[in-house]
A and B are shown apart, each in its own frame.
Chain A
């Protein structure tokens, strides 16, 4: 073990680390990411697509003929005109919000001087940060990676995306610094600054949720998003529910064998946070649809999305409420509730994104829905299954979380309970 800048760094046998069970899980998941990246790159940059000029410029070309055939009978490219945002955005939202939610809850608990959270804060923060990085990986794959430098060469600072950019530049280093402060607990001056850092990080958290909401609110055409009442609040509440569930599952997986009594106490504490968050989310969902644009409310509550919506409510609110209402001694109920919440809230994000696109913009004349292409029937609700590459990237993003957490933990023992 070596000591650098107040932090103890473990000397790690790389072979043991790289060949550990957790890392094998990470490799398996990252393999999905690799397949996804190759698929997306092939589809985006190597698949032949023809323009009206090509046939004239290269008459008789086999490649042009293939590309023309693809244009008419193919899937119509990677992005559908009527549903531009899909699973990438769902995963980005989920990872970023849940990661931020964990960081928010930990920072808040530290300010309130909750000892159990303070002991485990480094691990929670590392997990939260890993989720944020996984979210950023997902969104990067959604963009035209070869043009990303244009964000800096030709910036328009008032756009929603640009509001996010400087925030991440402050936010990620700030959280890393916070982890450093926790790990370097021997220095007394660090503790004094910690309060300031915590207040600052809470402020940045608030701003982050506000800006995320602003990003959706700027899409004036998608009224599901623009009519959600207090979108910032919704993002915060729904994030806290999933964040608390992830924290509960993490606590069980990390501390179940090392420190049983503290594990039980910590799970009981998080159970309360989860329960209150679930109640808040339930209360929000019960009232929000009174304000949401009736076209969207109708298809989500009573139309094509109803099964998904009620499944989301059951998994994210109903079942966890029943399982967590009493602090039962057996951890199995809490684990079950966590899994339901994690899956349920992911479904909730899918409904939010896909639902926003679902009511087609194609009724522009108000006299009925229009055909989008010659080869499709008129549709009242737009829903496309995401391509395989997109699904693989989303699955692969979990590998990033496992990899980052495991490597950080191996060197810095972030999961170790610390005495303050």
Chain B
């Protein structure tokens, strides 16, 4: 078993295939051979009987052979008298007749010539059966390893009569039958071998072609493991399991590459975000060290700037941590919360972000939803902050919800009538650090570029989806679909 499992899959499959094929062919061959043999033997027996019948009838019932009895009625000559002639007539080149009387005693043996087979010694059991009137007593014997067929024919006083006076035993050589059978057997074996060979080759080819593709997949896997994420199996279109596997595999690598690309972009972006504060810090420090430290007013300005940058850095770190925390779903504290209560409590807090905008609550049906209130508060703070940033004073910001079907849940939204989002930016706004061309004049520099990414992460953690609709100049609507449960 150990060596078996050490063999390559290709060899194992081929061996298995060939083994099963060989067993099937042998069984079929054996059955066919036996069947053919039975048929041939039966045919031979029937032929012997058919040939014997007119001769027996001629000798037993033929008129010229009738004698006249004492009373002048025709009478059969006693079997003893006709037996030698009958035996001789029934004997041919490969068949010898033996005549037995009603007691099973030998009356005559037809064998004269050496090429004629010797009569088989009568088997009393079969002779008795024939004497009792059984017509079809046939059996095979083997003498000097040669096969013979023995056929017993009861001799009746008249056709169909129950009066049996003796038995003819025909011993016929089955050599020709055996020869035919041997030829057939050889042919069968040869054909089986050819079938096996063809089957093996075909099987090996099929298995190999499948396994070759597995091999391609293996080498592709290795290449990918070595860091070449651009590689794909890319099998030509095929619908079988291997094709499905290859397709699924490619799909998985695509997804991984995408994720890794996003990750790489994220890191690059994060590094980029770090670069500006770091440049400011390094430069300020250098300038201080070069001597500006001796000028208290200038030094104070630089130090204030450095403080600002350090604050920015720590906020960025915090947000990054938020984001990574959000991406692990583990820390969700979901609880059933009535949406109306949640938003009625939240809206005044949102208003404080930008009191000079018009804040509207567009309450939907009274429903309870499972979510983490702390996280949802952050979601709506981020969305509200964005909305406020991109609307002019006096702008209208609406927060609301509706019931949704497929999936059963709630859609929550924050919409504004602000400047909208450039269509080119739209696909990217949820990417970490993405800043659109309309980034406005963010005087405070408070935006970390992570707000919407955090929103997306939180909503995704709740099994929901985020969508955005925006018309430049008209406004933006961010829609969160959150399923029940």
Q: Do A and B bind each other?
A: no
**Chain B residues engaging chain A, CB cutoff 8 angstroms:** none
